[in-house]
Structure 1
Amino acid sequence: MYAETRLATNTPGLPARLPLAAALLWLGALAASASPWLAELDPAALISAFWTYNSHDYTSVLAHFSWAPRVSVAILIGCGLGLAGAVTQQVLGNPLASPTTLGVEAGGQFGVTIATLFAPAVLAFSPDLAAVAGGLLAIFLVIALTWRLGFSPVTVILAGLVITFFMGALNMAFLLLKGEWLGNLFIWGAGSLVQNNWTPFMDLWPRVLVLALALVLLMRPLQLLQLGQASASSLGARVGMIRMLALFLVVLMSATVVSRVGVVAFVGLAAPVLARLLGARNLVERLVWSTLFGGGLLLLADTLAHWASTWGDGSLVPTGTTTALIGGPIILLALQSFRNTHHMPGQDASPTGFIPIRRPAVVIGSVLLTLLLATFIVSMGWSPGLQEWSWTPLSQWDDAWVWRGPRMLAAILAGVSLGLAGTLIQRMTGNVMASPEMLGISGGAALVMVLIVLSGAEVGRAGQLTAATVGAAGALGLLILLARRHRFAGNQLLLGGLALYVFMDSGLRLVMASGGTVASKLLNWMYGATWLISESEALALLSLILLISLCLFTVIRPLTILPLGDTSASSLGLPVGRARLALLLLAALLTASATVVIGPLSFVGLIAPHLARVLGQHTVGRQMMVAALAGGLLLAVADYLSRIVVYPGQLPAGLLAALVGGLYFLWGLSRHGRS
């Protein structure tokens, strides 16, 4: 009896900080949301606005039909996404999984975009169907790509992030081609909870409630998953069926929300992470507190968005922006306590994959140069006209150069820069899945550019390049600072890059929601609109790349020695700290120069070093040379195709490169899964 009493007494209780934090969050969010109204309505009248109103008082009518349904929708959706995020993390055993990081929300938006263009009758019948189909497609791709890798946390996040990039690029392609039909759709896609009646809430709450009850009914089977697949199966649990059913319900929950209010990013990640960090230990506690934190976080984020819209120039600040700004720091918090015991793809303890045969660098370089020259000649000479395709005579190339030459030259140079930057980063981190895009370096450069555009400051190309370099260097410096405690592990750098992408995404959504010519110009640049490049800018970029390339001869030895480890590198006379700083600045400058031209999401920095390795170049110098030529060739082809595919319209070259790069990355994951 005494032993039983002692055992019960020693059982860990609920940490006091957990309910305290939840209470403070809810009180703060409710107080912030209600404070603008308390100057005109007393607290009792404001509370009664949830079910009635005074028809003779305009403020009471406005509170009943605008403020109260907005608060109700925010709480309902936040609770639903918080619960869905907790279930997702339990199913995948991944503390950084959520509907957003798995691409479900981007897939839902993609489904609505496709239905808007090609099957509007589906949207008229039910917008949920299109969103659910897109969400299911996204999560199916993530599961298919990572199934054989055992749902390694970093690999799942990478697959979900690239699918988000890829579907975002497809959405952007449709927006640029069919902007007159999709403009309002992408303003909605930024995530807005603005309401003018109770109809959306009344339509939504039964669906969210039913899905939440279904997820709660899965609690006991989900608890068995904590024992591991073998133990759960021995107890009679059908693990595969449980996972599929739970993920299907998560997709239904997330896609239903996306179809109604747009993408309110990272609530499904932030709420479970907060619950876990504050002491929620078992599954029941995580589900309950994740639900509560989700409602409070989204209400707070929506209130901040409303305040920002009111204090600004009156333009809409989407809730998706503020939730992303909250989600980024939470990812960084989770990153500090995150431990990953899985190897990255390509870093298996006993690799058995394909090892390319070494080939002469001169031969490979000559072939790539020939292909690059052929692409340049075809781009200058062979193009569509108003009537038919025709070859531009050599005597008219002076005139054709004005329209075709600078953009082609800039694209080639951007490809060279990204090829070199990607090689530097992969060698420096020791991770073959690293790239300027995946580490957030491009995002850091892009974020500074977004801030410049939003501020209305007039800076030339030199100012843009300087600002982008500062942003890129700051991003990579922050990542390395965060990863110091993990000894610069590539996995931690990649997850930190995800956090930086969140901030960049929030700025992009803000611009998309603002609309106007500034948004159109910035969106074109974000996806690599090379037609904006002048001849003087292209020649200036050429001079810069040549200067940086001369400096790269001095980093061959450090890049060769650094993989041996700090101790061995120091014993060979290499100043490790200064070497890493120099490599950091070079990678940042190369990335910034390319980002100013081609935008932040081309994936060339990932593909080009891989192509160099596939072509048999394993030493540092040879890989850099071939990667630079491969990157230039890739973007040269992308620029030519962007000019002719939808003629007389144009697509950004970086957009085509992002689509091809996303496919390549997904193929690479599946290939590692088979090996």
Structure 2
Amino acid sequence: MYADASSPLVSRPVIPARLPVAAIILWFGALFASATPWLGELNVGALVSVFWTFNPDDYSSVLAHFSWAPRVSIAILIGCGLGLAGAVTQQVLGNPLASPTTLGVEAGGQFGVTVATLFAPGLLAFSPDLVAIGGGLLAIGMVIALTWRLGFSPVTVILAGLVITFFLGAMNMAFLLLKGEWLGNLFIWGAGSLVQNNWGPFMDLWPKVLVIAILMLLLMRPLQVLQLGQSSASSLGAKVGLVRALALFLVVLMTATVVSRVGVVAFVGLAAPVLARLLGARTLASRLLWSTLMGGGLLLLADTLAHWASTWGDGSLVPTGTTTALIGGPVILMALQGFRNTHHMPGQASNPGDFMPNRRSPLLVSGAVTALLAITLIVSMGWAPGLDGWNWTSVTQWDQAWVWRGPRMLAAMLAGVALGLAGTLIQRMTGNPMGSPEMLGISGGAALVMVLLVLSGTEVSRLGQLGAATLGAAGALGLLLLLARKHRFAGNQLLLGGLALYVFMDAGLRLVMASGGTVASQLLNWMYGSTWLVSENEAFGLMGFIVLICALLLLIVRPLTILPLGETSASSLGLPVVRARLLLLMLAAVLTASATVVIGPLSFVGLIAPHLARVLGQQTVGRQLIVAALVGGLLLAVADYLSRIVVFPNQLPAGLLAALVGGVYFLWGLSRHGK
């Protein structure tokens, strides 16, 4: 009934020595690296004093006071604020991978600023914070609405947040491509730059960050109660819903305030709490403290690296958002190693036979989809707007119209076929219904190689691009499967690992966006699937390549049918499992690379097409492959046609339009988890 008085008292968790040592090393290294370029011009005492005064007779002192010192100060301030916000987010959701970035808050803030710049510039003049906060609340509100019924399942929350980030990023890119003359500088800023030329932004920002941080710390006791679980916390009188809402609102305030000033400095709010936890911070108070300190040191180090890269390069700006995004990928991968697979994938119940649509005749379904595809091709060739309004191009003039409409339409259709096939291969091979070339980082791996080729200035033919993109795609998928073997290829590790790999491509994209110029414009058009860049020879070359791959697919129907039975059963049936997986891996990589070279890395067609094939009643491997290929071709053919006419005389990239529609589909699929 009573505790034994002689029993030893339970001691409080002891902070391991490695945590403060790591923090000291991080801060000392970041400060020293940042100060190194100035040590040849100012002594240590003068360099420290420039934070509050300067020598008007010494140009170096003036420059350091108005440029270097405020940049260091604002990096530390923002890093500490985002580190604290990340720790609070993880505590509220009980999710070690939650952060303002992975919940879409930063992308939402940038989206709010973009929309206000175009449609309500008066709001920006009144307060940039308000529009950024509105965008952040929109993003996190969508995440909460999608995952509320699931009890904020960690995997689903992260997937919803990252897909909303992609979706809002695609919306931002659509605005940029349509209104680039007004938004070009906005997206250079949006890539995350801490460059300062006076103390004004810092003096304006620090009181707001301090007040929000104090309000967060005042919620520490209610947040501690949340660790007991929702039922226990409620029984102790805690208003769990109100505490969560207040804490997340403060996270949005902190993040949006930062984004409205310096743009997106991604993943600091994730990296700092993860590092604090990995180094031994166990209690809530210690996590909040050390996450704050780690955030300040990390962002200062990332900003210093960005400054060095700008200095060592050709003089073009390397945004801080690039270096922080490069930090994010490894951090997610490190965190995944200790992440337990306690939840089924969205759309994957414990009983895999839960969703079984009525079987339908493959000839009937294939015929119907083929007929729709033919109608799309005829309408695309014949019915289009012109200078004198909408008109029908007669068949006798199609040879002239083909030059402008045919190659891009054919390339889009073939890219859809390739993504439909690749998506089916991946979903069958991994047993993961939410797997796709986009969501597993395969498209990101192919695109990263393409970004590196463009940035290096290397002139490569289309065949060379295809080969390089295939290597990038295969490397990304191979690395992902290697990392996921520890967790027996569990669905959440595959998806989150793939998204971590996608982060590296995002870093390259931010770098290109900030560099500006014709190279950036061309690469951005390609990244979002501008099919108007495709020539007739390339379209027919792609057709021959896809036909060849389709012939090879006849060899893998049996292995793809047997593999889902498990490694032991497949081996007992005489299937060489390792070689079969390697063959499937290469086929998926080649198909993804061929589509990525044409349509860009983000379309979600590889996710949607296999699902629609199942919905249409095609359950066996061969039938699903055929129908998924036709559905993928139809989706991108329609997307290419709509991209020509929706904002005529301007054009949207077909891949971007497909990404917008595909993002909505993905979010809808998440919302129907368990149905």
Shorter-normalised TM range: over 0.9
Secondary structure, aligned partner of 2:658: helix
**Equivalent AA in structure 2 for residue 443 of structure 1:** G
* TM-score, L = length of structure 1: 0.98
The residue type equivalent to 1:374 in the other structure is I
* Other-structure match for 2:87: 86
What residue is the counterpart of 2:271 in the other structure?
Answer: 270
Alpha-carbon distance in 1 for matches of 2:598, 2:303: 35
Q: Percent identity?
A: 80
User: Take 2:517 and 2:667, find their aligned partners in 1: how far apart are those partners?
Assistant: 34
Q: Counterparts of 2:158 and 2:560 in 1: how far apart (Å)? A: 28
**SS of residue matched to 1:227:** coil
Q: What is the rounded CA distance, in whole Å, between the counterparts of 2:41 and 2:9 in structure 1? A: 53
Q: Deviations over 1:461-506 (max 9, x none)?
A: 0011001000000000000010111111121111111111110110
Runs (4+) off by over 6 Å? 3-6
* Conservation of the 8 A alpha-carbon contact between 1:153 and 1:340: no
Aligned position for 1:342: 343
Alignment of 1:114-133 (within 5 A): 114-133=115-134
Aligned letter for 2:131? A
Counterpart residue identity of residue 593, structure 2: A
Matched residue SS, 2:193: coil
Conservation of the 8 A alpha-carbon contact between 2:341 and 2:490: no
Within-5 A mapping of 1:593-608: 593-608=594-609
Quote the residue 1:244 is aligned against.
Answer: 245
The letter of the residue matching 1:268 is G
Q: Which residue of 2 aligns with 1:38?
A: 39
Q: 2:366 — aligned with what?
A: 365
Q: Distance in 2 between matches of 1:112 and 1:12?
A: 44
SS in 1 for 2:290: helix
Amino acid in structure 2 at the alignment position of 1:59? S
CA–CA distance in structure 2, aligned partners of residues 398 and 95 of structure 1: 58
SS in 2 for 1:417: helix
CA shift for structure 1 position 350:
4.5
- Measured in 1, the distance between the counterparts of 2:100 and 2:222 equals 20
State the partner residue of 1:670: 671
C-alpha deviation, 1:414, in angstroms? 0.1
Equivalent position of 1:454 in the other structure:
455
User: Which position in structure 1 is the counterpart of 2:152?
Assistant: 151
Residue 28 of structure 2 corresponds to: 27
Residue 672 of structure 1 and its aligned partner are, at CA, apart by 1.8
Q: Which residue of 1 aligns with 2:534?
A: 533
Q: Distance in 1 between matches of 2:353 and 2:445?
A: 36
- CA offset at residue 353 of structure 1? 6.0
Alignment of 1:216-255 (within 5 A): 216-255=217-256
Residue 540 of structure 1 and its aligned partner are, at CA, apart by 0.5
User: Match of 1:328?
Assistant: 329
Structure 1 residues 5-404: aligned runs within 5 Å = 7=8, 11-350=12-351, 355-404=356-405
Provide the secondary structure at the position in 2 that maps to 1:355: coil
Letter in 1 for 2:496: L
Q: Which residue of 2 aligns with 1:470?
A: 471
Cα distance in structure 2, aligned partners of 1:246 and 1:344: 27
Residue 427 of structure 2 corresponds to residue 414 of structure 1? no
**Letter of the aligned partner of 2:499 in structure 1?**
L
Name the CA distance, whole Å, in 2 between partners of 1:338 and 1:570.
Answer: 30
Distance 1:11 1:122 in 2: 50
The answer to whether 1:630 aligns with 2:631 is: yes
The Cα of 1:11 is off from its aligned counterpart by: 4.6
Deviations 1:507-555 (A, max 9, x none): 0000000000000000000000000000000010001100100111111
| Mapped contact 2:87–2:287 kept (Cα < 8 A) | yes
Are 2:191 and 2:510, in contact at CA under 8 Å, matched by a contact in 1? Answer: yes
In structure 2, distance between residues paired with 1:355 and 1:286: 46
* Structure 2 letter corresponding to 1:653: A
| Cα separation, 1, equivalents of 2:60 and 2:208 | 31
1:215-254 per-position Cα deviation (integer Å, ceiling 9, x unaligned): 0000000001100000000000000110011000000000
- Correspondences of 1:556-635 after superposition (within 5 Å): 556-635=557-636
Which residue number corresponds to residue 506 of structure 1? 507
**Secondary structure at the residue paired with 1:390?**
strand
**1:199 Cα offset (Å):** 0.3
Show CA shifts across 1:237-285 (max 9, x none): 0001100110000000000000000000000000000001011111111
Deviates more, 1:313-322 or 1:150-159: 150-159
Residue identity opposite 1:356 in structure 2: P
- In structure 1, the gaps of 5 or more residues are none
Work out whether residues 79 and 292 of structure 2, in 8 Å CA contact, stay in contact via their aligned partners in 1: yes
Tell me how far apart the structure 1 counterparts of residues 145 and 517 of structure 2 sit (CA, whole Å).
Answer: 40
Q: How many residues align?
A: 673
DSSP 3-state at the match of 2:391: strand
Encode CA deviations 1:541-597: one digit per residue, 9 max, x unaligned: 001100100111111111111111111111111111111111100000000000000
Distance 1:79 1:274, change over 3 A: same
- The whole-number CA distance in structure 1 between the counterparts of 2:465 and 2:198 is 45
Shift of 1:148: 1.1
Q: 1:340 Cα deviation (Å)?
A: 2.5
Distance in 1 (alpha carbons) for counterparts of 2:212 and 2:592: 45
Looking at structure 1, the residues matched to 588 and 416 of structure 2 have their Cα atoms a distance apart, in angstroms, of 14
* Structure 1 letter corresponding to 2:347: G
Q: Give 1:670 shift.
A: 1.1
Structure 1 residue 644, shift from structure 2 partner: 1.0
Note if contact 1:85-1:99 (Cα within 8 Å) is conserved in structure 2: yes
Counterpart amino acid of residue 454 in structure 1: L
SS in 1 for 2:650: coil
Structure 2: gaps (5+ residues): none
CA contact (8 A) 1:190 1:263 kept: yes
How big is the shift at 1:608? 0.4
Query: Residue 389 of structure 1: SS of its match in structure 2?
Result: strand
Distance 1:663 1:81 in 2: 29
Q: How far does residue 25 in structure 1 lie from its aligned partner after superposition?
A: 0.2
Which SS does the other structure have where 1:337 is aligned?
A: coil
Kindly indicate whether the alpha-carbon contact (under 8 Å) linking 1:320 and 1:509 is maintained by their aligned counterparts in 2: yes
CA distance in 1, matches of 2:660, 2:328: 26
Equivalent runs, 1:642-661 vs 2, <5 Å: 642-661=643-662
1:135–1:251: 8 Å Cα contact kept in structure 2?
Answer: yes
**Partners of 1:93 and 1:572 in 2: CA distance:** 43
3-state DSSP of counterpart to 1:348:
coil
